[in-house]
Amino acid sequence: MDDDRFIHYKIGIKALDKEHSIIIQNFNDCLEFLKEKKEINNVLEFINKLLLDHFNSEEKFMVLINYPYLDNHVSEHKKLALYFKKKINESNEYKFQNRFLVSVLEESFLKHIDEQDKQIETFYYSIK
């Protein structure tokens, strides 16, 4: 996430920022594949796996720091994971793959960082 466009989404927790960066890079890869008329289903499935792994890491970190809003954050993870899976399944079922789909999924991930993960950052640095 060294790209200046994403500096706003850094939360100052290196391991989580690295995972965020990898997921964002894979969204960028999807967009490049679409430009080249390449298949993106495998990349979307890979992003979904990265997302689930990331949520697991993030939840472990929240437990470690005794994050008071853990239950709410986990609930948001579940909603976002279901949303991703639904959109990927729709993409597969209806055989559509386009920039809009990738952009919608990326935007929902960035919104999660901005609205949810930034709260972890605030809490973490308040107790550090």
Q: What is the pLDDT of residues 22-45, one digit of tens each?
A: 999 999 888 888 888 777 788 888
Angle 80-104-109 (CA atoms, 0-180°, nearest 5)? 40
> In this structure, is residue 114 part of a structural domain?
yes
Q: Residue 100: which domain range?
A: 34-127
DSSP 10-21: --S-HHHHHHHH
> In this structure, is residue 49 part of a structural domain?
yes
Instruction: Using the predicted structure, report yes or no on whether residue 1 has a pLDDT greater than 60.
Output: no
Quote the CA–CA distance of 101 and 67 in Å, as a whole number. Answer: 33
> Any idea which of 13-17, 34-38, 118-122 has the lowest mean pLDDT?
34-38
> In this structure, is residue 10 part of a structural domain?
no
Look up the pTM and report it.
0.88
Number of domains in the chain: 1
Return the pLDDT at 101: 85
> In this structure, is residue 7 part of a structural domain?
no
Average pLDDT over residues 50-79: 97
> In this structure, is residue 19 part of a structural domain?
no
Model confidence band, residue 105 (pLDDT cutoffs 50, 70, 90): very high
> Any idea which of 41-50, 53-62, 79-88 has the lowest mean pLDDT?
41-50
Torsion of CA 4, 10, 16, 18, to 10 degrees: 10
Return the pLDDT at 95: 62
> In this structure, is residue 118 part of a structural domain?
yes
Return the pLDDT at 92: 74
Average pLDDT over residues 104-118: 94
Residues of the chain above pLDDT 70, percent = 93
> In this structure, is residue 20 part of a structural domain?
no
Instruction: Using the predicted structure, report yes or no on whether residue 5 has a pLDDT greater than 80.
Output: no
> In this structure, is residue 121 part of a structural domain?
yes
